[in-house]
Structure 1
Amino acid sequence: MNSSPDFPDTGPDTGPRPRPRRAAGSLTAVAVVAAVAAGGAYAAGLGPFEGESGPDPEAVAEARAFLADWAAGRLPDAAARTTGPDRAEQVLRNFTAGLDIERPKLTADEPEETGDGTVTVPFTARMPITGLGTWTYTSKLPLREQDDGAWKVDWKLSLVHPRLSDTRKFRLEREESEPVEATDRDGDTLSGTTHPSLGPVLARLAGGTDGGGPRGAVHLVDRATGKTERTEASFGGKPATKDDGPVRTTLDADWQSAAERALAQADGRNAALVALRIDDGEILAVANSPASGFNRAVSGTYAPGSTWKIVTSSALLLKGAVAPDDVVDCPQYLTVGKRFQNVETSEHPGATFRKDFTESCNTAFISLRGKLGEGELGDVAKTYFGVGQTWHVGVPSYDGSVPVPRDATEKAASMIGQGRVQANPLIMASVTATAVSGTFHQPSLVAGTEDTTTTTPIPPRVVTQLRELMRATVTEGTARGLSDLPGDIGAKTGTAEVSDDQDNNGWMVAHRGDVAVACVVEEGVTGGGSAGPVIHALLSAVPES
């Protein structure tokens, strides 16, 4: 048994240095959730609390700013928002470094007034632990108004995790597994040596289809004695043995090699790509850059940006709320609590819905929000696309989330794949496959995985419309970069803003023949400019299937 360093609340600064903060442009200093979709930008500020009675909006904004800084690794900035900045920075840094946590996802919930002059903001923490999985828990941020009228997070250890205290801390323990032997769909040997990007993927296959992979746990321990009081989270299943033989995967060695080479087009940025078969959901390639570490392709949580307009369009077309040739104006700006805009404030007066889709017009899609019920977008995602249901892929995966919007601004954002909509390349490759075939197939990396999903086929009329819209995006829209490739390719680009000091994430999804692909490039600025070259390189390297 190998143990990682204990989580200390004191000690040297061993964590990664935070990135220098860039100018926030037009965003305000307290804007926390910012999002842009291909063709536009969304900035969420006070959300459901703006203009309502209840907790002071400035307190809520400060809580969300603290969570955003913590999640982005801006630990000095997060600590400066507390009543104990030196202590806070030290604890936050050692918590993430000591437990090998990377890129936490912290989501604020409804605030509460506690009656003693403080405001409490509950939050959900999703902590990806390198090479193991995600530790999810809930906690609360207490905020107190200062003498100068400003609000600060009232620092205490328990806000990081409710059980963290002066007498108890956390320890991460890992159990090493034998390197897994695996083959592709044709029986060819796969390994992290021949296909470096498969390292973290194959490691999770070590226990077969029961969740497998590297094993480990986060324990709560007594600071004085080191005795384990309880296990907070455990990862991995039954370890494989050499007698089990190689794990036969659905991967294709040629597709996998091409995918890994294609990620070189991401110019060293963090990126991920998934390719899968449309007719059965079998995964052909899973690639991550960097090759080691977090499996972004399957376990990442990202706003999908305008690639999500495939689902939004499906919801609108299913109920006949719009038709491709209907005129849906595309102005530069549209205000729904916040001002939404299109990329470079572009506009397309008198555009049809087809034009809005191919040019990825945010304002046009947001203008149609009243055509959908409050939770209808999430219902369509779950019912027709399987998003948000539990998937059994063969390795641990994040299966998406489309919460019911909390206010009009968040509903507008969800129409363009922002707000609290979350996905990853696996999900968006599956969404693409479902849209162009009409039938959801649970993605799988190994044969024989359990399938507990229940979905409804998309009517052929809507499938035809979606295929035509995606094809037009290649021939005349934002995915024109793929138009020189052979085959009847359809695609959709997307761009999603992460925070006020990071460049946008770039997205592209595409389909050709029986294969659907999805790629995200972190801080790629635009989908067409960053993810587009990756997918172009991939489809150029493999024959149409």
Structure 2
Amino acid sequence: MSDSEHTKPHRRRTPRVVLRSAVAASAVAAVVAGGAYAVGVGPFARGTEGPDPTAVTEARAFLADWAAGRFPNAAGRTTSPGQARDVLRNFTTGLDIARPTLTASVATTSDDGTVTVPFTAKMPVTGLGTWTYRSELPLRRQDDGGWKVSWTLSLVHPHLSATAKFRLERDEAAGVPKVTDRTGAPLSGATHPSLGPVLPLLDAAGSGPRGAIRLVDRATGEVKGTETTFAHKTDRSADRPVATTIDAAWQSAAEKAVASKAGGKDAALVALRIDNGDILAVANSPASGFNRAVSGTYAPGSTWKIITSSALLLKNAVKPGDVVDCPKYLTVGKRFQNVETSEHRNATFLKDFTESCNTAFISLRGRLGDRELGDVAGRYFGVGQEWHIGIPSYDGSVPTPRDQTEKAASMIGQGRVQANPMIMASVTATAVSGTFHQPRITHDAEDTTKTTPLPRDVVKQLRDMMHATVTDGTARILNDLPGDIGAKTGTAEVSEDTPNNGWFVAHRGNVAIACVVEKGVTGGSSAGPVVRSLLAAVPDDPS
């Protein structure tokens, strides 16, 4: 549960103004990105007056990891990793915070040797506005000579404590507009529960969304104070509905598939049109709360091999028929392995793709420059550019690897590569059509992206490889469905003590789909049944 809330009331819809508490989603990769920071200390050297630069570096790394949603990494830089991981995750996701910017300022050293790094936190609360406050990080030298952030609740926010937490309240009546699907039929959270958290973000009600962050007593829930309030005015008429790209039939089928086939696990799915990026369905489980489908940040696992393959094929670094051995293990700073330690000796690159061989893809890392994977993701697939889909979203990140181990991980969608179902549905659509179309949920969404079409021969190779994954590979679960279908499975590591997330992307006709099931272990066994259920329930593409 969230450090900002421990219980979650059911959503109630009444004619009067009701304040809804936005509370923590369960443990999930959170809605954060960025890591913009700057430290005002000079280049102090050891033994000279001023803070130890290694302590300042550790503070900056902690802030960067927190901002990027790498909560286990951030927590590992503290003196209490378990509590820090849970509190950072629950604070950020529980308050619907997206893309925080954490800016460090001048560090100081106290008489006892503690290094203190003040920072400014700008926390964008989804659909409401930005909550800005100041706090500071205390760092102490450890027995091994290194530095760690001395963990306290108050470093997250000065008012967070063992007795007080935060709660986000939204004014539903002010923030829920009248909304229609792509045919003009009305949509609501009552008929489509996954849209409940989405509709207020469309910001079409006459007064716009309103809300507040309250400081409350942990034991009683009594409000002890108000940290900030949000009120937004618009020029739009409250009576004019917002026309969305959602298709009611696809939305209903997607919600049913996620609810019935994800095994009770947290999951998310996006379906969109390949020819124009129109989002047809956004489904989350649980349906209320955090919108994992478009705002979540996850390692995409082996579904990312679509982009890795594109990068290799673009420069003719490998062909589908080339032999690229697939051993059980490959060590690049750390030992990488395939799911269930499988191996395919003397396999072709096509076989490596259809069986999702990690070691084969990692072995090809030397054929790509350090920045090349990110460049291809941005230039051809729009990943990492700023998207304007009509509601707040996370648009992906592919940082330049810091070393060969991280480069190896990025080849298979791990390391610091971050995406979500909306991004991976778009990646799938781009791969099989050759042209990126910014996803959108409203027809008037602005598009400022700039991309380059994929060459036709690369598109054909990608389509053939994804089709073969259905007929002869890890996506066989779709093989009995009619139509020209292609897919890619993915398994993404979360941490050593947490089951892997399962991924599945697919395309059929003019629709691309991506699904993630948290703690699903493998994509084929967890996310695969969700996608299959959706495709079986809606046999026809939207016109």
TM-score normalised by structure 1 residue count: 0.75
Pairwise CA distance, 1:153: 2.9
1:260 is matched with: 255
1:251 is matched with: 246
Task: Work out the CA distance in 2 between the residues paired with 1:195 and 1:498.
Answer: 30
Contact 1:99 1:172 in 2 (8 A): no
Structure 2 counterpart of 1:190, one-letter code: L
Of residues 193, 196, 203 in structure 2, which corresponds to 1:196?
A: 193
> Structure 1 350/502 Cα, relative in aligned 2: closer, same or farther at 3 Å?
same
Task: Work out the CA distance in 1 between the residues paired with 2:315 and 2:134.
Answer: 37
> Structure 1 544/17 Cα, relative in aligned 2: closer, same or farther at 3 Å?
closer
Q: Does 1:144 align with 2:143?
A: no
2:292 is matched with: 296
Of residues 384, 387, 390 in structure 2, which corresponds to 1:394?
A: 390
2:80 is matched with: 81
Structure 2 counterpart of 1:198, one-letter code: L
> Structure 1 94/262 Cα, relative in aligned 2: closer, same or farther at 3 Å?
closer
> Structure 1 234/497 Cα, relative in aligned 2: closer, same or farther at 3 Å?
farther
> Structure 1 257/363 Cα, relative in aligned 2: closer, same or farther at 3 Å?
same
Task: Work out the CA distance in 2 between the residues paired with 1:371 and 1:120.
Answer: 44
Structure 2 counterpart of 1:474, one-letter code: V
Contact 1:274 1:297 in 2 (8 A): yes
- Once the two structures are superposed, residues 122-141 of structure 1 have per-residue CA deviations (whole angstroms, 9 ceiling, x without a partner) of 99989785775887999875
Task: Work out the CA distance in 1 between the residues paired with 2:189 and 2:99.
Answer: 28
Of residues 312, 315, 322 in structure 2, which corresponds to 1:316?
A: 312
Contact 1:288 1:297 in 2 (8 A): yes
Aligned counterparts, 1:143-542, within 5 A:
143-146=139-142, 152-155=148-151, 159-161=155-157, 174-176=170-172, 177-207=174-204, 214-216=209-211, 238=234, 241-244=237-240, 246-263=241-258, 264-542=260-538
> Structure 1 285/174 Cα, relative in aligned 2: closer, same or farther at 3 Å?
closer
Pairwise CA distance, 1:286: 0.7
SS at match of 1:344: helix
Pairwise CA distance, 1:539: 0.3
Contact 2:97 2:124 in 1 (8 A): yes
Structure 1 counterpart of 2:423, one-letter code: I
SS at match of 1:456: coil
Contact 2:24 2:93 in 1 (8 A): no
Aligned counterparts, 1:1-16, within 5 A:
none
Contact 1:99 1:129 in 2 (8 A): no
Contact 1:310 1:466 in 2 (8 A): yes
Pairwise CA distance, 1:207: 2.8
Structure 2 gaps, min length 5: 6-22, 28-52, 216-223
> Structure 1 114/100 Cα, relative in aligned 2: closer, same or farther at 3 Å?
same
- Once the two structures are superposed, residues 399-425 of structure 1 have per-residue CA deviations (whole angstroms, 9 ceiling, x without a partner) of 111111111111111100011111100
1:101 is matched with: 95
Task: Work out the CA distance in 2 between the residues paired with 1:380 and 1:448.
Answer: 28
Task: Work out the CA distance in 2 between the residues paired with 1:265 and 1:106.
Answer: 33
Give the superposed CA RMSD.
4.6
Identity, % of aligned positions: 66
- Once the two structures are superposed, residues 188-208 of structure 1 have per-residue CA deviations (whole angstroms, 9 ceiling, x without a partner) of 121111111111111211338
Task: Work out the CA distance in 2 between the residues paired with 1:122 and 1:498.
Answer: 30
Structure 2 counterpart of 1:366, one-letter code: I
Task: Work out the CA distance in 2 between the residues paired with 1:159 and 1:236.
Answer: 30
Task: Work out the CA distance in 1 between the residues paired with 2:366 and 2:135.
Answer: 34
Task: Work out the CA distance in 2 between the residues paired with 1:17 and 1:394.
Answer: 22
SS at match of 2:534: helix
Give aligned pairs, total.
Answer: 481
Task: Work out the CA distance in 2 between the residues paired with 1:98 and 1:320.
Answer: 43
Task: Work out the CA distance in 2 between the residues paired with 1:355 and 1:138.
Answer: 53
Task: Work out the CA distance in 1 between the residues paired with 2:25 and 2:175.
Answer: 33
Contact 1:96 1:102 in 2 (8 A): no
> Structure 1 518/236 Cα, relative in aligned 2: closer, same or farther at 3 Å?
farther
1:47 is matched with: none
- Once the two structures are superposed, residues 345-392 of structure 1 have per-residue CA deviations (whole angstroms, 9 ceiling, x without a partner) of 111111110000000000110111111111111110110000111111
| 153-162 vs 450-459, greater mean Cα deviation | 153-162
Pairwise CA distance, 1:238: 2.9
Pairwise CA distance, 1:216: 3.7
Task: Work out the CA distance in 2 between the residues paired with 1:474 and 1:129.
Answer: 40
Structure 2 counterpart of 1:260, one-letter code: E
Higher RCO (C-alpha 8 Å, min separation 6): 1
SS at match of 1:374: coil
Structure 1 counterpart of 2:176, one-letter code: P
SS at match of 2:198: helix
- Once the two structures are superposed, residues 274-298 of structure 1 have per-residue CA deviations (whole angstroms, 9 ceiling, x without a partner) of 1100011111111111111111101
> Structure 1 501/479 Cα, relative in aligned 2: closer, same or farther at 3 Å?
same
Task: Work out the CA distance in 2 between the residues paired with 1:490 and 1:174.
Answer: 41
SS at match of 2:196: helix
> Structure 1 331/227 Cα, relative in aligned 2: closer, same or farther at 3 Å?
closer
> Structure 1 119/359 Cα, relative in aligned 2: closer, same or farther at 3 Å?
farther
Pairwise CA distance, 1:247: 1.2
2:42 is matched with: none
Contact 2:25 2:290 in 1 (8 A): no
> Structure 1 205/122 Cα, relative in aligned 2: closer, same or farther at 3 Å?
same
> Structure 1 516/219 Cα, relative in aligned 2: closer, same or farther at 3 Å?
same
Contact 1:73 1:103 in 2 (8 A): no
> Structure 1 218/396 Cα, relative in aligned 2: closer, same or farther at 3 Å?
same
SS at match of 1:274: strand
1:43 is matched with: none
- Once the two structures are superposed, residues 412-446 of structure 1 have per-residue CA deviations (whole angstroms, 9 ceiling, x without a partner) of 11100011111100000000000000000011111
- Once the two structures are superposed, residues 180-234 of structure 1 have per-residue CA deviations (whole angstroms, 9 ceiling, x without a partner) of 21111111121111111111111211338x9x973346699xxxx9697xx6x96
Task: Work out the CA distance in 2 between the residues paired with 1:104 and 1:92.
Answer: 17
Contact 2:98 2:126 in 1 (8 A): no
Task: Work out the CA distance in 2 between the residues paired with 1:411 and 1:113.
Answer: 32
Structure 1 gaps, min length 5: 6-14, 20-53
> Structure 1 77/408 Cα, relative in aligned 2: closer, same or farther at 3 Å?
closer
Contact 1:102 1:127 in 2 (8 A): no
